[in-house]
Structure 1
Amino acid sequence: MPPKKPTAATQPSSKPDMDNLLSYTIRTQTLLTQLLTSVTNPPTSIPTLPPDQRVLNPLTILRDSGKLLHAHTTKLSLMIMNKPFGAKSMTAELKACVEKCIMGMMGAVDILSCSWHPISPNSDNPGSADVSDQSIWGDMMIREARTRVARVIREMLVMVQELRTLTETEAGILDSPSSDAVSQRDNLSSTGVVWEACDSLVALEKLSLPGLAVMKATQYHQTLKDALAELKEWAEEVDGDEADFSDEGFSDEDDELDAIFGASKRLPKNDTALREQVERTNKKLSSIAVLYQALIKRRLKPFIFTFPPSAATEHTLLRRTKRLNQIIDELKSIPDEVDELAGALYELDGGSAEARLKNCIDMASEAAALAKLNWDGQEDEFTVWSGKWKGSVES
């Protein structure tokens, strides 16, 4: 039985094929660098999405592009691990990675970022002007998609650089590795990281807008709880330190190290006013943490995002999405302010800490006000509860 004819993937690479692969990897590096700059720097002007493209779901495009890139990078990795070096087939796979997958992701990001419904001066649709320049997905989803696509591009840049180095080695431009421990598999160690980045796009499509809002709010809630726990621990541990230890045995060098690494100052045992302020602050922040839980359960989880919306419901969905994003923005800002508040207390700056606490309460109250009514604009149990919460936290 005659031997099988070698396929294109198993045939030794000719010099033109090697030159083409090397040339394409270099061009790909340049292109990916430009795309990374584009996706991480949103345009200042917001384009309008044409009506015929409003049925396109950008999250579905991201999902499909991610799955396809996963498949093509798998093939590329297998080609590199098997001899002989098939430069022509590798070029084809790399082109598919860029032209079909990465460009598809960039197109999806563009669709996400477009405003959904331009309002003409003669529009008789009441309440529509406040969402005329808004994407139906909202800023939160746009930022998340850009972040995840940027990660894919960064990891692809690493992979392409490894492929370029391997190609230059095969072509004799670079010296071969001197150690046998450096294998072809090692040369594509980034493949698995690319897969993870692709999987994150698939996960984003599964989350959709409501799931992303819940995920973000849960993360911010956890950050707030961590900061609150550290603040409580600081206040409690200081008491024990002062009761059980003296300053004997500590040198000036210890004080210098504390200054260098930003060690917290001791909470004076006899400063009753500051201790009462710390206790009051903890109670207020605990109340704000409870608000996060209530918002997640009563407002974020019940949010329904139907895509594509009908002409009759698109403005309603735009307004709901805008309100959802405003709530998330407030919840996002609070943990950062709490960090500043804690820093002020650690420095025993009661005045600054009090101002920071007021900011936290104001932001939490704004989030509660935005969520006062349900998504249908009706009062419910949360409406009543939020009123009581507001009175308590602002008292």
Structure 2
Amino acid sequence: MSGKLKIILTTTFTLVEQFQSTLSSPQNTSTTPEQRKGLDALPLLSAAATALKSHVTKLSLLTITSPFTPSAVATTVSTLNESVLPSLVTAALLVTPESHTAAFQNEIRILTCTGLKELFMLVKEVQTVAEDKAEKKSLEQSEKDAVTLAAGRVWEACDVLIEVAAKGVVGFVVRRAEEYRDLVKDAVEEIEGWDPDEEGDEFFDELLDDDDGKEIAHIGKDEGSEDDDDEEGKSNAALHEQKKDALRILKPIAQIYPAIISNRLKKTPSPLTPPDARTLEALMKNLQQIPEHIDEVAGALYEADRNNYTRQLRRTKGCASRAIDLVLFPWGMNQASEGQGSIGDIEDKFTNWSKTWAKVMGEVAKSIDEPKSD
């Protein structure tokens, strides 16, 4: 390997590690207005990822095509070091919580770090080929395949970045909300399919698989099992009622997802103002917590833990109510909720729907709305 190429490849490794550290640092979470002025992060990010794909293609072809030319490889890698990688990382750093939400910023930084990691592995393969060229004239097919596969992984990482940048914050939050919606749907269906009367059947069926088990079961039945059966029947009846209450509450909660996605998330303004970004962040946090609380509701039902069941249902309802309140009015109109302007003038279809939803929720949630310590 030529001395120049060795230095340039070493520089790439150092830059990638430094850039990954920068992107992973919690201190680097925002930029100044002066830094953001005149720069649109997502188009820059897409352009940089596209340039990275182009240079990676050229680099892989130069590496596997005979004769191996160190100067051509060095020129391509130098361009990566001097312009492509700095542009990519700069664009990623321009995505901030104030302009795109913290969740979107985190997504972009993770994807960018993935691209850098895959590039690191590709350059490792290039380094190996450059070292081997000193000893043999042509590459084995396995060596060519290793370079091609490494380049393909960089391509995939860049394609994901380009897609996320193209869809922007709106596409990102819609996709996340749809994921949370599906989790809620699955959890509600699981509760709906649960039968308290079948709890423990598997355990007793195993006991009855042998004669000793049958004898034990018979003895248990003789010794006061009628009282036990009566007590179990009451317990199961209570669980059936709790299950019905839970479904009456959870089904309307599940309905907030399509309503919010269609009427608010898909209409998210671009670019985001800092207040809208904060609202969106809080909204997504509540939408994310709902399926987590529903899982806890299901667990409390299965364990017949009435207190935790009630507590988790209250939390689920609270998250749903807060999510609706955060986007009760169209984007940029929430000041009306603080007494400024005429609320009637800015109400829309979702605002009116939310009123109906609140009435329904008030009726179906009476069983958990008694004042209790949470």
Q: Report the TM-score range of the alignment, normalised by the length of the smaller protein.
A: 0.7 to 0.9
Q: Verify: 1:366 aligned to 2:331, yes or no.
A: no
Q: Residue by residue, what CA displacement relative to the aligned partner does 1:34-85 show, whole Å, maximum 9, x if unpaired?
A: 221221233167442217x422100011000011001000111111221122
The one-letter amino acid paired with 1:393 is M
Distance across 1 between alignment mates of 2:196 and 2:125: 51
Secondary structure in 2 matching 1:271: helix
Distance across 2 between alignment mates of 1:60 and 1:37: 23
Distance across 1 between alignment mates of 2:185 and 2:59: 45
Q: Which runs of 5+ in 1 are unaligned?
A: 1-14, 114-133, 251-267, 308-316
**1:201-280 correspondence runs (5 A):** 201-233=161-193, 235-236=194-195, 239=198, 242=201, 246-247=205-206, 248-249=208-209, 270-280=235-245
Q: Verify: 1:379 aligned to 2:344, yes or no.
A: no
Contact 1:61-1:104 within 8 A present in 2 as well: yes
Length-normalised TM-score, structure 2: 0.77
Secondary structure in 1 matching 2:149: coil
Q: CA deviation at 1:290?
A: 0.6
Q: Verify: 1:152 aligned to 2:136, yes or no.
A: no
Distance across 2 between alignment mates of 1:79 and 1:381: 59
Contact 1:298-1:382 within 8 A present in 2 as well: yes
**1:246-395 correspondence runs (5 A):** 246-247=205-206, 248-249=208-209, 270-306=235-271, 317-377=273-333, 378-394=346-362, 395=365
**1:103-122 correspondence runs (5 A):** 103-113=86-96
Q: CA deviation at 1:218?
A: 1.3
Contact 2:196-2:239 within 8 A present in 1 as well: no
Q: CA deviation at 1:376?
A: 4.3
**1:41-190 correspondence runs (5 A):** 41-43=25-27, 46-50=30-34, 53-113=36-96, 135-172=98-135, 182-190=142-150
The one-letter amino acid paired with 1:227 is A
Q: Residue by residue, what CA displacement relative to the aligned partner does 1:318-340 show, whole Å, maximum 9, x if unpaired?
A: 32332222212211222233333
Secondary structure in 2 matching 1:373: coil
Would the alpha carbon gap of residues 282 and 93 (structure 1) be closer, same or farther in structure 2, given more than 3 Å must change? farther
Distance across 2 between alignment mates of 1:62 and 1:45: 17
Q: CA deviation at 1:369?
A: 0.5
Would the alpha carbon gap of residues 230 and 190 (structure 1) be closer, same or farther in structure 2, given more than 3 Å must change? farther
Length-normalised TM-score, structure 1: 0.74
Identical amino acids, percent of aligned pairs: 26
Q: CA deviation at 1:292?
A: 0.6
Would the alpha carbon gap of residues 184 and 281 (structure 1) be closer, same or farther in structure 2, given more than 3 Å must change? same
Distance across 1 between alignment mates of 2:303 and 2:10: 52
Distance across 1 between alignment mates of 2:5 and 2:189: 55
Give the length in aligned residue pairs: 327
Distance across 2 between alignment mates of 1:384 and 1:282: 24
The one-letter amino acid paired with 1:208 is G
Q: CA deviation at 1:188?
A: 3.5
Distance across 2 between alignment mates of 1:21 and 1:344: 63
Q: Verify: 1:30 aligned to 2:45, yes or no.
A: no
Larger Rg: 1 or 2?
A: 2
Contact 1:21-1:91 within 8 A present in 2 as well: yes
Q: CA deviation at 1:238?
A: 6.9
The one-letter amino acid paired with 1:391 is K
Q: CA deviation at 1:237?
A: 9.3
Secondary structure in 1 matching 2:282: helix
Which of the pair is proportionally richer in helix? 2
Contact 2:15-2:81 within 8 A present in 1 as well: no
Q: Residue by residue, what CA displacement relative to the aligned partner does 1:178-234 show, whole Å, maximum 9, x if unpaired?
A: xx662312234121121111112221232122222222211221222233333434x
**Counterpart position of 1:200:** 160
The one-letter amino acid paired with 1:37 is S
The one-letter amino acid paired with 1:222 is D
Distance across 2 between alignment mates of 1:197 and 1:135: 25
Q: CA deviation at 1:361?
A: 1.2
Would the alpha carbon gap of residues 358 and 165 (structure 1) be closer, same or farther in structure 2, given more than 3 Å must change? farther
- Structure 1 range deviating more: 199-208 or 223-232: 223-232
Secondary structure in 1 matching 2:33: coil
